[in-house]
């Protein structure tokens, strides 16, 4: 069962649980600080905070001197008025200078933070194995990462910039208030304490009540985005009106329920505001009374008003920031738990560095693999399972095969037989559950993975075309890289593989293909990927249903081109359902049978041969595939079709598998 990771968040229903959640939030904040705040950023942040403290103190110093200005005006003391003005002018200059310094430091700190955030997020995302990306997509997906990335950026800005500014303003104003008017400082300190109590109370209710609303809004958004992405189905089923009505009903329902809570919240906030303003008004009234009695001079009221107002504003701003931090924490915590999952495929300390040569021997020795039935959602979060753990599901059993240097081998079998699993094991998306994958005699687990991948090329079943030009896709070229491959070489490979799309190449090699290659047909995208694989000049190629999107005529032309590309020295493993794809291209054929029903010691590799005719004689699985596809087998009796009135049974149930040949 796969669920949205944020749905596993436990809602705090008691004060103890809320305080525990706050403690977890502090742990997440520390992780963000250590992972995404660089020494450079810390340096600029310190400069920003020092400059900010000086500028805020200077700004508040103007209010301090305003007392002497007002008193001087009342007494007609020209010297006091003159000196007050000079002091205020000096504070204005100091404020302007250090305010500009803090803005410059903030710009550098923010730039360093954004750079580190992008770099580190990429590092943590790319370090995971391809097997993890495929098997744990419930949480290791771009939606979670992108959402967490945006929330981390908000958290950094709120805590380092907005939060620090509010805290410094509050500290300076409250300190000066205590120094100037201690009794008022006491009142405002009590206001701060009461505000913190209100803050915890209201945010706990937000955490408890808004989680279900957030969950439903995310469900509605997923529904909406899915319909936008699959607009063709919506339009062809004439469901536009029903979709609009359903989404509107769903949104209005949850919006109405959410509004009830926020109206309650607004009432509470209003009463809190009244209490805060009453404390502020009482403080000012107390000061006015003391001035009326003659205990204070008239000028004291100016700093009292400004400092008390600044304290009240800063308290509100800090409360707002705390609420935003709490609201963003679930997404950030999800991203943290996702990105801190350790990669399951890593190079050993002294991994073998493979060197380029004219051929590479590939072997599988008694390889088995099993996928876990239950996928975890996130480490550290409750598992989304019902009942006890289930045993792993074996998808590959006891497979042994060899592909000699320069040999082109085809992997044939029904859907679910494990062909894709072998491909993934060969490129080390994951490691075998048992057995050994060997490359040039080395256990693949002992080899530096990048050195192996740099020697091979992979053509996936679903073309992975980047937004960019034909040239960029053929070369996997970054936009700031110089062009080092001659155009003649690119045009040569394009013509071999029928990538020359005629009039559609409006700008030649610099023709843009659009996002996901939308400007190209499915067959054109696939041919472009085959060309990109060829341009890597590999010594071994892995091809997964490369011609599945091509018509018969183009398929034959591409096969001929692939024969030229593969040459004599390049080895290949070609996975296919369409037997016509590999008959001429390959010199060795492996047939996999379904693992269901096999004994534990039996091999899933049913047969290996050098021709279709030989396979037809020894492999029941191949005979079924060949007969279904109408493949002509020379020197073999034609399959007979008999009409029967008996109920039709599954053909696979009647197959009796021959013992596989020994493949040394």
pLDDT tens digits, one per residue of 328-363? 777 788 788 888 888 989 999 999 999 988 888 999
- Taking residue 443's Cβ as centre, other Cβ atoms within 10 Å add up to 13
- Inform me whether the pLDDT recorded for 54 exceeds 60: yes
208 plus 90 within the same structural domain: yes
Q: What sections of 497-590 are H helices per DSSP?
A: 522-535, 552-566
- Inform me whether the pLDDT recorded for 396 exceeds 60: yes
The pLDDT of residue 387: 46
Domain of 138, CATH number, reads 1.20.1560.10
**Structural domain for 209, as ranges:** 25-340
pLDDT tens track for 549-599: 677 777 777 777 788 888 888 999 999 877 888 888 899 999 998 877 777
- Inform me whether the pLDDT recorded for 660 exceeds 60: no
The pLDDT of residue 15: 63
- Taking residue 542's Cβ as centre, other Cβ atoms within 10 Å add up to 24
User: Which residue pairs from 106-110 have beta carbons closer than 8 angstroms and sit at least 24 positions apart in sequence?
Assistant: 106/44, 106/48, 106/161, 108/40, 108/44, 109/41, 109/44, 109/45, 109/48, 109/160, 110/157, 110/161
Number of structural domains in the chain: 2
Domain of 597, CATH number, reads 3.40.50.300
User: Are the C-beta atoms of residues 578 and 598 closer than 8 Å to each other?
Assistant: no
Q: Do strands 588-592 and 605-609 pair parallel, antiparallel, or not at all (unpaired)?
A: antiparallel
- Inform me whether the pLDDT recorded for 658 exceeds 60: no
What are the structure tokens assigned to 86, written together? 């000079």
The pLDDT of residue 18: 67
pLDDT tens track for 36-50: 999 999 999 999 999
- Inform me whether the pLDDT recorded for 543 exceeds 70: yes
Report if residue 7 sits inside a domain: no
Q: CB-hemisphere CA count at 13 Å for 653?
A: 3
Q: For the purposes of burial, counting CB atoms within 10 Å of the CB of 617, is it exposed (0-12), middle (13-18) or buried (19 or more)?
A: middle
300 plus 416 within the same structural domain: no
158 plus 297 within the same structural domain: yes
Report if residue 645 sits inside a domain: no
Report if residue 183 sits inside a domain: yes
Report if residue 556 sits inside a domain: yes
Report if residue 160 sits inside a domain: yes
**Listed range (76-80, 199-203, 256-260, 600-604) with the worst mean pLDDT:** 199-203
| Average pLDDT, integer, range 145-157 | 86
409 plus 303 within the same structural domain: no
Report if residue 239 sits inside a domain: yes
What are the structure tokens assigned to 376, written together? 């975890």
100 plus 191 within the same structural domain: yes
103 plus 186 within the same structural domain: yes
442 plus 332 within the same structural domain: no
Cα–Cα distances in angstroms (integers) from residue 268 to residues 70, 249, 257, 315, in the given order: 39, 29, 18, 17
282 plus 407 within the same structural domain: no
**Percentage of the chain exceeding pLDDT 70:** 89
Distance of CA 243 to the CA centre of its chain: 29
Q: CB-hemisphere CA count at 13 Å for 508?
A: 4
| Average pLDDT, integer, range 502-530 | 80
- Inform me whether the pLDDT recorded for 212 exceeds 50: yes
Q: What does the alpha-carbon distance between residue 191 and residue 186 come to, in Å, rounded to a whole number?
A: 9
294 plus 422 within the same structural domain: no
| 442 against 312, higher pLDDT | 442
Residue carrying structure tokens 């924490």:
329
176 plus 324 within the same structural domain: yes
- Taking residue 229's Cβ as centre, other Cβ atoms within 10 Å add up to 9
Angle (CA) 644-645-647 rounded to 5° is: 100
- Inform me whether the pLDDT recorded for 644 exceeds 50: no
Report if residue 379 sits inside a domain: no
Q: What does the alpha-carbon distance between residue 322 and residue 318 come to, in Å, rounded to a whole number?
A: 6
Angle (CA) 371-373-375 rounded to 5° is: 95
Residue carrying structure tokens 């744990």:
136
Q: Integer distance in angstroms from the first to the last C-alpha of the chain? A: 42
Cα–Cα distances in angstroms (integers) from residue 6 to residues 148, 224, 337, 507, in the given order: 11, 19, 11, 46
Report if residue 228 sits inside a domain: yes
Distance of CA 219 to the CA centre of its chain: 19
Could you say which DSSP state residue 163 is in? Answer: I
Q: What pTM was estimated for this model as a whole?
A: 0.76
The mean of the pLDDT values for the chain is 82
Q: pLDDT confidence of 542, banded at 50, 70, 90? A: very high
Sign of dihedral through CA atoms 482, 484, 488, 491? negative
3-class secondary structure, 394: strand
**Listed range (296-305, 372-381, 463-472) with the worst mean pLDDT:** 372-381
333 plus 437 within the same structural domain: no
295 plus 367 within the same structural domain: no
pLDDT tens track for 380-389: 444 444 444 4
| 361 against 13, higher pLDDT | 361
């Amino acid at each position: 069962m796969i669920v949205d990771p944020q749905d596993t968040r436990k809602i705090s229903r008691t004060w103890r649980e809320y305080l525990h959640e706050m403690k977890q939030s502090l742990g997440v904040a520390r992780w963000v600080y250590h992972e995404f705040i660089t020494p450079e950023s810390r340096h600029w942040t310190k400069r920003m905070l020092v400059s900010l403290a000086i500028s805020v103190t200077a700004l508040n110093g103007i209010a301090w001197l305003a007392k002497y200005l007002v008193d001087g005006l009342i007494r007609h003391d020209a010297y006091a008025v003159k000196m007050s003005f000079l002091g205020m002018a000096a504070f204005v200059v100091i404020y302007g200078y250090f305010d500009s310094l803090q803005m410059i430091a903030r710009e550098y700190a923010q730039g360093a933070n954004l750079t580190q955030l992008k770099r580190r997020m990429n590092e943590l995302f790319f370090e995971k194995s391809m097997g993890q990306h495929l098997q744990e997509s419930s949480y290791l997906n771009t939606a979670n990462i992108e959402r967490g990335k945006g929330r981390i950026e908000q958290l950094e800005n709120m805590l380092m910039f907005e939060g620090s500014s509010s805290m410094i303003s509050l500290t300076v104003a409250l300190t000066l208030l205590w120094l100037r008017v201690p009794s008022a400082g006491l009142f405002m300190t009590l206001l701060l304490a009461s505000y913190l109590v209100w803050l915890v109370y209201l945010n706990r209710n937000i955490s408890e009540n808004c989680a279900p609303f957030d969950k439903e809004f995310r469900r509605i958004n997923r529904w909406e985005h899915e319909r936008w992405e699959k607009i063709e189905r919506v339009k062809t089923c004439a469901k536009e009106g029903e979709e609009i009505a359903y989404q509107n009903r769903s949104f209005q329902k949850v919006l109405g329920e959410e509004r009830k809570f926020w109206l309650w919240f607004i009432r509470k906030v209003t009463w809190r505001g009244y209490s805060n303003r009453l404390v502020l008004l009482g403080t000012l009234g107390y000061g006015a009374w003391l001035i009326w009695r003659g205990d204070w001079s008239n000028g004291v009221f100016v700093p009292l008003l400004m400092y008390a107002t600044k304290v009240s504003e800063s308290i509100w701003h800090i409360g707002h920031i705390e609420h935003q931090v709490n609201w963003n924490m679930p997404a950030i915590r999800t991203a943290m738990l996702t990105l801190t999952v350790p990669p399951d495929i890593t190079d050993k300390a002294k991994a073998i560095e493979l060197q380029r040569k004219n051929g590479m021997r590939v072997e599988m020795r008694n390889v088995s693999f099993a996928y876990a039935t239950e996928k975890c959602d996130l480490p550290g979060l409750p598992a989304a399972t019902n009942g006890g753990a289930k045993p792993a599901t074996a998808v590959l059993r006891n497979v042994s095969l060899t592909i000699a240097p320069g040999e082109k081998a085809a992997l044939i079998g029904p859907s679910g037989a494990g062909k894709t699993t072998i491909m993934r094991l060969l490129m080390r998306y994951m490691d075998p559950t048992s057995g050994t994958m060997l490359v040039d005699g080395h256990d693949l687990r002992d080899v530096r993975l990048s050195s192996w991948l740099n020697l091979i090329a992979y053509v996936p079943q679903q073309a992975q075309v980047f937004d960019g030009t034909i040239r960029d896709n053929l070369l996997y070229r970054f936009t700031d890289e110089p062009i080092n491959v001659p155009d003649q070489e690119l045009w040569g490979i394009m013509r071999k593989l029928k990538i020359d799309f005629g009039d559609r190449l409006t700008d030649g090699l610099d023709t843009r293909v659009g996002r996901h290659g939308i400007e190209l047909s499915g067959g054109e995208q696939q041919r472009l990927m085959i060309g990109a694989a060829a341009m890597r000049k590999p010594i071994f190629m892995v091809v997964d249903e490369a011609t599945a999107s091509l018509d018969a005529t183009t398929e034959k032309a591409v096969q001929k081109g692939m024969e030229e590309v593969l040459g004599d020295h390049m080895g290949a493993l070609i996975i296919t359902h369409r037997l016509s794809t590999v008959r001429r291209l390959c010199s060795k054929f492996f047939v996999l049978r379904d693992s269901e029903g096999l004994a534990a010691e039996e091999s899933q590799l049913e047969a290996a041969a050098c021709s279709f005719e030989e396979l037809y004689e020894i492999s029941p699985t191949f005979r079924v595939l060949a007969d279904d596809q109408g493949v002509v087998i020379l020197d073999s009796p034609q399959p007979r079709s008999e009409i029967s009135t008996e109920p039709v049974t599954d053909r696979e149930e009647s197959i009796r598998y021959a013992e596989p040949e020994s493949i040394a």
